[in-house]
C-alpha cells in the first residue's frame, strides 16, 4: 500500500506552536496566582518533636524535618490532624480521636496482646478504632510495635480525672466523656506523644486550623499545593 506524505502549511504549524506556548504561559500564570493565594491563606508550621511520627518526621542529621500547612476556618473531623494552642506559648500538632459528647477508653485485646482505642459515640454502638492512618508508611513489624505503644498512652490516660467505668466484651474499662465543644487529641507516636491522654481534652476554641499539606521543611511544594487546590475544587 502506498503511503502519501501529508503536507502541512508552515502557517498552521506556527499557529499550533503559538497556541501551545500561550496555553503553557497562562497555566504558569494561573499556577503562580493559585500558589500565592494558598500561601497567603494558610499558616506554615515547622513541626518539632517526634509525637506525630511516622506521618510527620522530626529533623535528623540527614533530613530537614517536616513542616505543615494549616487551613483556618474549614471543617475538621475524626482522624484529621490539627494544630491547636495548648497554652499561651505552646502549640501542638495532634490527631482528632474523639469530639464533644463521645466517650473514649482503652480496651485490652487479650488475643492480640495490646490496647486498642474504644470510641463510644452518642446513640451509636461502641467500636474499636482501626486507625489505618497510623500505618500507611510502616511495614507489618512496625505496625505491631506501634499498636503495642498504645500501652504508654493508656498508662497516662488512667491517671486523668473524671474517668467512668464501662463494660465492653465482658471487660471493665475506664472511659472519659469528652465535654461539649472539646476534642480528645492523640499523637501518632503514642510512645513519645504528650497529648490528651496526659493533659485531658482541649477546647475547640484553641484550634488554629486543620493540617492540609505536609512537606519537608525549607521547601516550596508547588505541585503538591496545586494538586491540593485542584482536588478541593473538583472533589
pLDDT in tens, 56-72: 999 888 888 999 999 99
Is it the case that residue 174 has pLDDT exceeding 90? yes
**Which has the closest alpha carbon to 193: 164, 159, 155, 163?**
155
Q: How many other CB atoms are found less than 10 A from the CB of residue 105?
A: 24
163 pLDDT band, cuts 50/70/90, is: very high
CATH number for the region 44-218 comes to 2.10.109.10
Q: Taking the complete model, does pTM exceed 0.85, yes or no? A: yes
Is it the case that residue 184 has pLDDT exceeding 90? yes
> Cα angle vertex 154, ends 51, 95, to 5°?
40
Name every residue whose Cβ is closer than 8 Å to that of residue 212 and which is 6 or more positions away in sequence. 42, 69, 70, 71, 74, 228
Is it the case that residue 1 has pLDDT exceeding 60? no
**Rounded Cα distance, 37 and 32, in Å:** 8
Higher pLDDT pick, 118 / 226? 118
218 pLDDT band, cuts 50/70/90, is: confident
Range 102-122 average pLDDT: 94
In this predicted structure, which of 10-19, 27-36, 53-62, 106-115 has the lowest mean pLDDT? 10-19
What percent of the chain clears pLDDT 90, i.e. is strictly above it? Answer: 62
Is it the case that residue 133 has pLDDT exceeding 70? yes
Positive or negative torsion for Cα 136, 141, 144, 145: negative
Map grid coordinates 499545593 to a residue.
225
5 pLDDT band, cuts 50/70/90, is: low
**Rounded Cα distance, 74 and 76, in Å:** 7
Q: Where are the domains of the chain?
A: 44-218
Determine the pLDDT at residue 7: 55
Amino acid at each position: 500500500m502506498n503511503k502519501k506524505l501529508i503536507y502541512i502549511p508552515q502557517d498552521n504549524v506556527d499557529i499550533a506552536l503559538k497556541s501551545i506556548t500561550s496555553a503553557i504561559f497562562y497555566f504558569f500564570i494561573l499556577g503562580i496566582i493559585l500558589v500565592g493565594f494558598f500561601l497567603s491563606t494558610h499558616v506554615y508550621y515547622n513541626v518539632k518533636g517526634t509525637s506525630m511520627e511516622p506521618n510527620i518526621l522530626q529533623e535528623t542529621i540527614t533530613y530537614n524535618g517536616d513542616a505543615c500547612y494549616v487551613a483556618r476556618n474549614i471543617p475538621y473531623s475524626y482522624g484529621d490532624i490539627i494544630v491547636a494552642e495548648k497554652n499561651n506559648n505552646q502549640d501542638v500538632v495532634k490527631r482528632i480521636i474523639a469530639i464533644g459528647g463521645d466517650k473514649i477508653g482503652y480496651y485490652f485485646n487479650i488475643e492480640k496482646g495490646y490496647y486498642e482505642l474504644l470510641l463510644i459515640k452518642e446513640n451509636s454502638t461502641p467500636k474499636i478504632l482501626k486507625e489505618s492512618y497510623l500505618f500507611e508508611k510502616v511495614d507489618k513489624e512496625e505496625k505491631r510495635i506501634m499498636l503495642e505503644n498504645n500501652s504508654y498512652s493508656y498508662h497516662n490516660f488512667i491517671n486523668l480525672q473524671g474517668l467512668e467505668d464501662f463494660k465492653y466484651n465482658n471487660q471493665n474499662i475506664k472511659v472519659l466523656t469528652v465535654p461539649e465543644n472539646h476534642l480528645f487529641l492523640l499523637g501518632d507516636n503514642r510512645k513519645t506523644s504528650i497529648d490528651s491522654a496526659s493533659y485531658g481534652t482541649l477546647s475547640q476554641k484553641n484550634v488554629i486550623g486543620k493540617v492540609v499539606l505536609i512537606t519537608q521543611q525549607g521547601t516550596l511544594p508547588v505541585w503538591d499545593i496545586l494538586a491540593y487546590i485542584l482536588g478541593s475544587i473538583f472533589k
